Amino acid sequence: MDIKNELLWRIYTIMFLVVVFAMFIFGRAILIQTQETEELMAMADSLYVDYRPVMADRGNIIAEDGSLLATSLPYFKVYMDTKATGLTKDTFYTYVDTLARSLANMTNSKYTYGGYLDRLQLARENNNRYLLIAKNITFQDLELMKRFPLFKKGRYKGGFIVERMSKRQRPFRMLAHRTVGYVRENANPVGLEGAFDDVLKGEQGFQYMQRIPGNVWIPLSDVSAIEPENGHDIVTTIDVNIQDVAGNALLRALKKHDADHGCAVVMEVKTGAIRAIANIGKTKDGNFWENYNYAVGESTEPGSTFKLAAIMALLEDNLVTLNDTVSLEMGKTEFYEETMVDASFHQLDSATVRKAFEISSNVAIAKMVNENYNLTKKGDKFIARLQQMGLDKQTGIEIEGEGNAYIKEAYSSTWSGTTLPWMATGYEVQLTPLQMLNFYNAVANNGVMMQPYLVSKLQDYGKTYEEITPKVLNKKIASYETIKQVQSLLEGVVKRGTAKSINPPNYSIAGKTGTAQIHSRKRKPGSKPQYQAACAGDFPAAHPAYSCIVVINDPKINGFYGSEVAAPVFKEIADRCYASKIDLHLPSNPQGNEKIAFASNKLPDFNIGYKDDFTNALSFFEIQHKDLAQSTPWTVVNADSTALKFQPRKGMERGIVPNVVGMKLRDAVYQLEKVGLKVKVTGIGTVRSQSVPAFASTSGKRVITISLK
């Protein structure tokens, strides 16, 4: 019995222990599920380390003069791991007070001392391992924070976590905003940022990071295991000064005429480099912003600016001459029971082809095309001429989103008897403003069509590793004779025709205005028509340097014609370019003939100074001069109609008071001080008199007064 009882007690004891252990396990499981889940998950998360990518800084987008159109500026976020492995409770509470004071004393501090202290202590109590301390701070502020109590102990002992970020900045804000573009998640890339993303984005690096609660990854150190390679820079063709002028002039016009949107583009004639491209549209709140690249993406019926292509086709096929007479029918005619009228009330029964183009007669241009191509069943020949001029093709500019050029196929299903007359005046065709500008640019460039482009160089830390050269799209859009004739037509439009209000007094513009009804054939009877105003051309017409187009859509007040809405913007851009670009003032000699003669009243006359200075200046401006003063470095400049003559300046011998009358102040003071005289000056300008006469001995003389005027 004793043995049996002993065995039973042992069994009961073991069973009791098993039950107790089972109950402990069950209780522990319940406790974990109800109270300790987050803590244990945090512990598990803290043990999870991964090798994660680190994005590189994007390269810069640079204007022609080196100005930054877009750049990546570094900024930093600072976090605190209040439960860092080496951050003990005693250390935290010893230094948390001074850390809170240091943070509160920062110039961009968000909280007071008490606010920071409460946040830090509460974060410690709640086991916050990723407490945001500051965001968008500069490198200087970061260096300061590294010296704060606790933070100076680093990542593991002080809980100091730094996350480096970069933010894309545009110093010029709206300036070429849409052309510069952007790259964003869940959005199609736009502009240069999108087109050159592979160049700008660089190569990502990698860094060990730790996951903490909330699926947040924090870097384990401030140094990447594999450093990212920053993106390369692109240098654009944009001239920020011309861009600024174009943008401001366009914006003022949009506001003045309460227009919906518009664009202005300036292109370099010889190369196709785009120097300015402004696109501004009205937003929903009534303000204006660069919200779409209308110049590149919007295909519309161009209206009267297309008449240049029609007249070129007629001239190329020898169907008309500029001196031919064309019937205007008092500005009104019919084609297959559809009425066409001229925009201007000219009351002319007939005019020369030149005059008809200058006044932009719809009737005249349409009748000539109709009689020579439509009635003779040669519409395919007219279309072929337009295709020869490249009007059916895109420009191929680097950025995405270029609209399609649309020229009807001859005798297609959409062809009708009115197609050619209406095409001649810029309807039943579609072109973007950039495509139309490229055509006008080719005319200014003596028939050579260049490809418009926006990027000239790819650089790495300021060193060019790839240069993008101009590209020819069409070596000859028309014969030289035709090009010269239409160049004179465009000058005539500005001198005597629809654009005469923008004819400048001191240089020449060649251009064409245009006014088109938007969706003219779809407009409901009785509804108010909408218009598109345009002006395209080049300047200075004598030696074209820039071509330009301005298109303004749906002007509602203060006029709607191209001559009163778009042309003033064109002129403002041209005037400002001419005033600021000295090379536009230089004489042009494209044929290699003799130097152009200058009027003597336009040349410097009776200027006195150092001969080498005059020689350098005149050589730069390619003005001929004859040196008749070889025996002296000082000269008097006299002018005649073909050159400047350097005459010797007398009175510069040693030992005598020099003759400084007629000199500028710098040269006069130099000469007088060279012979030991102290100079007193009155007035400004050029020396008109000197108190001690020229050629007098310098002996005993100490002071001389010169009067300038």
- Report pLDDT for 589: 46
- Report pLDDT for 694: 77
- Report pLDDT for 594: 44
Q: Which of 35-44, 214-223, 356-365, 378-387 has the lowest mean pLDDT?
A: 35-44
Backbone angles phi, psi at 548, to 5 degrees: -150, 145
Average pLDDT over residues 226-246: 89
Confidence of residue 265 (pLDDT cuts 50, 70, 90): very high
Q: Which of 211-225, 364-378, 387-401 has the lowest mean pLDDT?
A: 211-225
Average pLDDT over residues 63-84: 88
Decide: pTM greater than 0.85. Answer: no
Confidence of residue 215 (pLDDT cuts 50, 70, 90): low
- Report pLDDT for 703: 86
- Report pLDDT for 709: 73
Confidence of residue 525 (pLDDT cuts 50, 70, 90): low
- Report pLDDT for 590: 45
State the Cα–Cα distance between residues 482 and 424, nearest whole angstrom: 17
From 155, 147, 140, select the one nearest 99 (Cα to Cα). 147
State pLDDT tens for residues 616-644. Answer: 777 766 676 777 666 677 776 766 545 67
- Report pLDDT for 450: 97
Confidence of residue 107 (pLDDT cuts 50, 70, 90): low
CA atoms within 13 A on the CB side of 462: 2
State the Cα–Cα distance between residues 267 and 274, nearest whole angstrom: 4
State the Cα–Cα distance between residues 86 and 89, nearest whole angstrom: 10
Confidence of residue 364 (pLDDT cuts 50, 70, 90): very high
- Report pLDDT for 628: 67
What is the helix (H) or strand (E) element at residue 335, kind and residue range? strand 332-335
Q: Which of 143-147, 254-258, 349-353, 581-585 has the lowest mean pLDDT?
A: 581-585
- Report pLDDT for 344: 82
State pLDDT tens for residues 599-620. Answer: 444 455 456 777 777 777 777 6
State pLDDT tens for residues 130-151. Answer: 888 988 888 888 889 999 999 9
Confidence of residue 662 (pLDDT cuts 50, 70, 90): confident
DSSP-derived 3-state class of residue 21: helix
Q: Which of 51-55, 161-165, 512-516, 576-580 has the highest mean pLDDT?
A: 512-516
State the Cα–Cα distance between residues 82 and 129, nearest whole angstrom: 5
- Report pLDDT for 122: 92
Identify each DSSP E strand in 197-309 by its residue range.
Answer: 205-212, 216-219, 233-236, 261-268, 274-282, 288-289
On the question of a cis peptide bond just before residue 540, with omega within 30 degrees of 0, the verdict is yes
Q: Residue 340, Cα to own-chain centre: how many angstroms?
A: 40
What is the helix (H) or strand (E) element at residue 546, kind and residue range? strand 546-553
Average pLDDT over residues 349-377: 95
8 A C-beta contact, residue 307 and residue 361? no
Q: Which of 132-146, 488-502, 561-575 has the lowest mean pLDDT?
A: 132-146
Q: Which of 34-48, 187-201, 649-663 has the highest mean pLDDT?
A: 187-201
Percent of residues, the chain, with pLDDT higher than 70 = 84
Residue 269, both tokens:
């004639």
Percent of residues, the chain, with pLDDT higher than 90 = 50
Whether residue 557 has pLDDT greater than 60: yes
State pLDDT tens for residues 293-314. Answer: 999 999 999 999 999 999 999 9
Backbone angles phi, psi at 185, to 5 degrees: -70, 145
Average per-residue pLDDT in the chain?
85
State the Cα–Cα distance between residues 253 and 552, nearest whole angstrom: 8
Residue 73, both tokens:
């500026």
Residue located via tokens 């000699």: 589
State the Cα–Cα distance between residues 177 and 194, nearest whole angstrom: 13
Q: Which of 249-258, 531-540, 651-660 has the lowest mean pLDDT?
A: 651-660
Confidence of residue 41 (pLDDT cuts 50, 70, 90): low
Whether residue 597 has pLDDT greater than 50: no
Is the sign of the CA dihedral 592, 598, 603, 608 positive or negative? Answer: positive
